[in-house]
Structure 1
Amino acid sequence: MKLPPLKSLPVFEAVARLNSFSLAAEELSITQSAVSHQIKQLETYLGEPLFLRSGRHLRLTEEGRQYQEAVTSSLMQLEKASSRLLGQEKARLRLSVYSSFAVRWLVPRLPDLQSSCPQVELSLEMTGENPVLSDRVGDCFITIQKTSPAFDYELLYEEQLFPVVSQDYWHRMQRELQLTSSDARLTADDLLRYPLLSTHSIYQRAAGDWQAWFAALGKELPAQAHLQHFSHMLLALEAARFHQGVALTNDYMLSNRKDADDFVRLPCHAVATGDHFYFAWKQARRQETGIQLFRRWLVEQAIQSGLRSG
């Protein structure tokens, strides 16, 4: 078995992760010259440069990026195998997850995870975009794209959008629209009398969410509609909380939160976005106890909160 210089691998992993020789030296409690020596030794062995250096700037080469994925995964497997033999196994998982899903659905449920699966130590890496499925980013992911055949996927939620307002705003609408029946339905024209709070990130274009909502009725969003634009659903929902108009949101944003009663779901239709939220993990790691414990817990929570049917 021909192996690279093994002492160099943790040094390479630290430099690649921290993007700094000095920070890696500090973390590993060695000198910066020792870090440079180990990286040079590894590059000499491989016959490839792993980093591009330009003044104070440092970045991985393409070969270095590919090597980092393999090295990080291998070192993590060694750590887990050693922990098992020592009887000290802890499932330390980095979850890359959308910020809205984390803040509104996952974080409030973490005390249950800690009591149900105390051996799982979860670290959240929040992202505003679809996460890159890579060991460099996380051990597991919440994603809407099944792009990599190297990963397994568990469906958690099929997204739909529906309009909500604050309790005070709903009372105002009832008065102004003269709604006397508790089962009265609102029309698109009713909503057009009020500011529409739009989230750019859902369809990656201005007013895309409301355009889709009107299109589900066979209508176009009128040019004269009063729109307020927000980059993120969290911001639009906060604006709705403070009585600024009608926001489109989804189930997980209002699922079992203490502040869910601050909002009223308007008696209107919902529109499916076509996005499916999956829990994703690498097939090569499917036997890891921590990933499977966390997967089962996530599915149970999705069912209990109504995101996913039983």
Structure 2
Amino acid sequence: MHVFEAVGRLLSFTRAAQALHLTRSAVSHQIARLEDELGQKLFVRETRRIRLTPAGAEYLDWVRRAFALLQEGTQAVRAPTRQVLRVSLLASFASHWLVPRLHRFQAQHPDIELQMDPSIRLSQPGVDTDVAIRYGRGDWPDVQGIQIMDEWLTPICSPALLAEGGPWRLPESLLQHNLLFSWSPNALEWSAWSGAFGCSLAGTRQTMLTDYNIVLHGAQSGQGLAMGRLRLLAPLLAQGSLACPFPQLVLRGDVSHWLLLPPGPPSPAAQAFADWLQQEAAMGESSSPIG
């Protein structure tokens, strides 16, 4: 049928053979077999050209309608095309905030597939990723930044460490303990919190760790105090796996969680993801996560 349609459309055995990547003799053989099966001549062979017989013209119309119907049926049953959105993000944000909420995004946008790449390296949106979620002051160059949510900061530790050394009433009480830092070009959190509450970190023992998730594991195992990002960690505090020595000293800092997009209009998938992130973040933004 495909051979017949090509010959009928092009009115040339040679050009049909080229279009179908067949030999001219193979095309001619297929047409001869079809004519034998139908008991009708489909083409009139002339010296320099061919033309359709009336039966051939009628049959070509049926074949074309049959092909169109097959194409329509194929499109009707084919699975919807899924859009892939590559998201670079910090592992801590993924595990403590994003993943527990992802089922709601997937329910709203079943046609968007998120491919998440946890990394502390700042990927370039539009180059090696589609969008990125990062934590900071929003001063990254050559990107569009959409603020997802502010962060609330206060030191956290294991319940055992708090019971051993507490209750702690003054910020200076933490100076006798090891302070756990996650790597950053500048120590945004501890310096902001200590400055806000008049506590110098000079002379404190400090451990710099690569990733915030590792910092949390260190705090949970009693290795020292970490700076708590309460928008991420409110569930862990509620469960009692982490403790808050200074619930009255909570800083709403100038560091936030950001969605970074390449310059220019965002793709439909990126815009849908940005809108959903902002809606989710707005649910718990009005007050401190620990009251």
TM-score range (shorter-chain normalised) is: 0.5 to 0.7
Inter-partner Cα distance in structure 2 for 1:257 and 1:118: 30
Does structure 1 residue 199 correspond to structure 2 residue 181? yes
**Residue 163 of structure 1: CA displacement?**
0.5
Inter-partner Cα distance in structure 2 for 1:284 and 1:158: 25
CA contact 1:157–1:277 (8 Å) conserved in 2: yes
Tell me the equivalent position of 2:148: 156
Structure 2 stretches lacking a partner, 5+ long = 1-74
Tell me the equivalent position of 1:214: 194
Q: Secondary structure at the match of 1:265?
A: coil
CA deviation string 1:181-237 (max 9, x = no partner)? xxxx721232223x23321424546xx7544433223342232x3333323322121
The aligned runs of 1:131-142 (5 Å cut-off) are: 131-133=123-125, 135-142=126-133
Tell me the equivalent position of 2:212: 233
- Report the AA paired with residue 202 of structure 2: P
CA contact 1:108–1:257 (8 Å) conserved in 2: no
* Identity in percent: 21
Tell me the equivalent position of 1:171: 163
Inter-partner Cα distance in structure 2 for 1:262 and 1:200: 19
Inter-partner Cα distance in structure 1 for 2:119 and 2:287: 23
- Report the AA paired with residue 127 of structure 1: S
Tell me the equivalent position of 1:298: 277
**Residue 265 of structure 1: CA displacement?**
1.9
Q: Secondary structure at the match of 2:160?
A: helix
Normalised by the length of structure 2, the TM-score is: 0.60
Does structure 1 residue 244 correspond to structure 2 residue 223? yes
Tell me the equivalent position of 2:38: none
**Residue 285 of structure 1: CA displacement?**
4.0
Inter-partner Cα distance in structure 1 for 2:105 and 2:163: 38
- Report the AA paired with residue 100 of structure 2: P
- Report the AA paired with residue 196 of structure 2: A
**Residue 298 of structure 1: CA displacement?**
0.8
CA contact 1:157–1:308 (8 Å) conserved in 2: no
Tell me the equivalent position of 1:279: 259
CA contact 1:93–1:291 (8 Å) conserved in 2: yes
CA contact 2:83–2:111 (8 Å) conserved in 1: yes
**Residue 155 of structure 1: CA displacement?**
1.2
Alignment CA distance shift 1:227-1:282 (3 Å): closer
**Residue 258 of structure 1: CA displacement?**
9.1
Alignment CA distance shift 1:259-1:200 (3 Å): same
The aligned runs of 1:23-172 (5 Å cut-off) are: 88-133=80-125, 135-143=126-134, 144=136, 145-148=138-141, 151-172=143-164
CA contact 1:156–1:308 (8 Å) conserved in 2: no
> Which sits farther off after the overlay, 290-299 or 209-218?
209-218
Inter-partner Cα distance in structure 1 for 2:286 and 2:90: 16
**Residue 148 of structure 1: CA displacement?**
4.7
Inter-partner Cα distance in structure 1 for 2:102 and 2:163: 35
Q: Secondary structure at the match of 2:98?
A: helix
- Report the AA paired with residue 256 of structure 2: H
Does structure 1 residue 187 correspond to structure 2 residue 179? no
Inter-partner Cα distance in structure 2 for 1:307 and 1:232: 28
Instruction: Work out which of the two has the higher radius of gyration on C-alpha atoms and give 1 or 2.
Output: 2
Alignment CA distance shift 1:87-1:292 (3 Å): farther
**Residue 154 of structure 1: CA displacement?**
2.1
Inter-partner Cα distance in structure 2 for 1:261 and 1:164: 11
> Which sits farther off after the overlay, 159-168 or 237-246?
159-168
CA RMSD of superposed structures (Å): 3.2
**Residue 295 of structure 1: CA displacement?**
1.5
Inter-partner Cα distance in structure 2 for 1:201 and 1:136: 24
Alignment CA distance shift 1:197-1:260 (3 Å): farther
